[in-house]
Amino acid sequence: MRVLLVEDNQAICEMIADHLRERGFAVDAVGSGEQALSAARVARIDAAVLDLGLPDTDGMRLLASLRDHQPDLPAIIVTARDGVDDRLRGLNSGADDYIVKPFNLLELEARLRAVLRRAGSRRETRYSLGGITFDTVTRQASALGKPLDLTRREAALLEELMRVPGQVITKDRLEDRLYALEDAGSANALEAAVSRLRRKLSGAQARLAIETKWGIGYRLVESGDT
Ligand code: CA
């Protein structure tokens, strides 16, 4: 899941970004509306977390501009203002949720996941295939009932592949979903993550294989009892 975080207070921005990254999100963290719009042009984002008071705009106006490009973009407004008027204005402006500073990072994360779930009712919370189960809420994978130890990036990769079993996902798309802008440049990171995940899946005797489609991308297939 790729999240655009727009917050001009650098300390708060880093704190939120670090937390979400630890929990498996790819985060593009920026400090202004202009930077947010250019980040959103580069890659499709799954959700936005927007501070209300930004140096060059406000979170609600920014949300409207972001939705010009991506009408269904799920969004949470974060703000220090806590008047009922502001809260109503936030929700009426189309934000899916509204959270007031100071807030607990786990609460923000939970609300973000709720907003993402509501946005994609086709998006399952649990995938199961070839003996592997992945829970998108706890981020835990298990193989034949036993927990599978994955890094957050391997878990994110497995989630993307399990969402569309049998379909080829292009490398560009996977990189978009897994790596935020500041991680770009690690050219072989995706290949490396794929081979680590392959090793772990076969080590766990999963009947799942990640096929490489040369020059295109990858797809997840259920393998026979060979
Ligand atoms: Ca601010």
Q: Where in the chain is the domain with CATH 3.40.50.2300?
A: 2-119
Determine the Cα–Cα distance for residues 179 and 185; give it in Å rounded to an integer. 10
pLDDT number for residue 122? 47
pLDDT number for residue 105? 96
pLDDT at 181 over 90: no
Confidence of residue 177 (pLDDT cuts 50, 70, 90): confident
Ligand 1 mean position to 8 CA, how many Å? 5
Higher per-residue pLDDT: 180 or 18: 18
Q: HSE (CB half, 13 Å, CA atoms) of 192?
A: 7
Q: Identify whether the C-beta of residue 50 lies closer than 8 Å to the C-beta of residue 62.
A: yes
Ligand 1 mean position to 7 CA, how many Å? 6
Determine the Cα–Cα distance for residues 182 and 43; give it in Å rounded to an integer. 13
pLDDT number for residue 13? 96
Determine the Cα–Cα distance for residues 198 and 38; give it in Å rounded to an integer. 35
Ligand 1 mean position to 50 CA, how many Å? 9
Ligand 1 mean position to 54 CA, how many Å? 5
pLDDT number for residue 201? 94
pLDDT number for residue 200? 96
Sign of the alpha-carbon dihedral angle for 63, 40, 47, 52: negative
Query: What would the pLDDT profile of 104-138 be if each residue is shown by its tens digit?
Result: 999 999 999 999 888 765 456 788 899 999 988 78
Ligand 1 mean position to 2 CA, how many Å? 22
Ligand 1 mean position to 161 CA, how many Å? 36
Confidence of residue 152 (pLDDT cuts 50, 70, 90): confident
How would you classify the pairing of strands 75-79 and 2-6? unpaired
Ligand 1 mean position to 9 CA, how many Å? 6
Span 2-119: which CATH code? 3.40.50.2300
Instruction: Name the CATH architecture for the domain at 126-222.
Output: Orthogonal Bundle (1.10)
Determine the Cα–Cα distance for residues 152 and 21; give it in Å rounded to an integer. 8
Across the chain, mean pLDDT equals 87
Ligand 1 mean position to 78 CA, how many Å? 9
Ligand 1 mean position to 191 CA, how many Å? 38
Ligand 1 mean position to 109 CA, how many Å? 19
Taking residues 90-106, what's their average pLDDT? 84
pLDDT at 151 over 50: yes
Q: What percent of the chain is predicted at pLDDT more than 70?
A: 88
Ligand 1 mean position to 168 CA, how many Å? 41
Q: Where in the chain is the domain with CATH 1.10.10.10?
A: 126-222
